[in-house]
Structure 1
Amino acid sequence: MEEHFVWVTTRRIQPDKLEDFERAWRPVAHPQGMRRAFAYWSEDGQEITGVSFWDSKEACDSWRTSELEARRRTGMAPYVVEEREGFYRGRELVIPRE
């Protein structure tokens, strides 16, 4: 089975600031080594979870410590109330067919 390298970040956003946050959140360049990325919003628009898939932990770490990412985080900071993040390794689970 193929192993995946995944970075997950969940942020609580200030009320009525989702649009402002989203403008700051989008990277200006596609991070090298990022394969795919997804974003999920809560119904109230105050929590957003980003899930990104990477070639390796090193590729993810390289982006996380880059100047571009530092500037992006600075831009998001005024809209973020709380942030949780973590790096994971895993694989797709096989769901039995009935």
Structure 2
Amino acid sequence: MDLLETALDPLDSLCISGHDAAVGREGIMRDLPIKVDADAVIAIGNYLDDHSKATAVSVSVAIFAIRKKAMTTLSDNELEELIVESAAARHLAVLLDTRDN
């Protein structure tokens, strides 16, 4: 393998140097959910971007607000998962106040 082939190897472009390299490729990448609703993801992002960092994000209120803004076929549980992941990425506290019936 010559220098050009090495530089263009797609697996090499996924490697991360520093602390994250110790985690390994499996630890830094994950599969996307089967159902991805771009409108819901954008609505969640906008909702969380506008949310105060001083108070916790109420998952039940967030789901209600997102359902008003985005017509989505995602279940409440799927929305909850996306909200929690997105809030964690923004370092926001989350109030897990939904109920399973």
TM-score between the two structures when normalised by the length of structure 1 = 0.24
TM-score between the two structures when normalised by the length of structure 2 = 0.24
Q: Larger % of strand: which?
A: 1
Q: Whose radius of gyration is greater, 1 or 2?
A: 2
Q: Larger % of helix: which?
A: 2
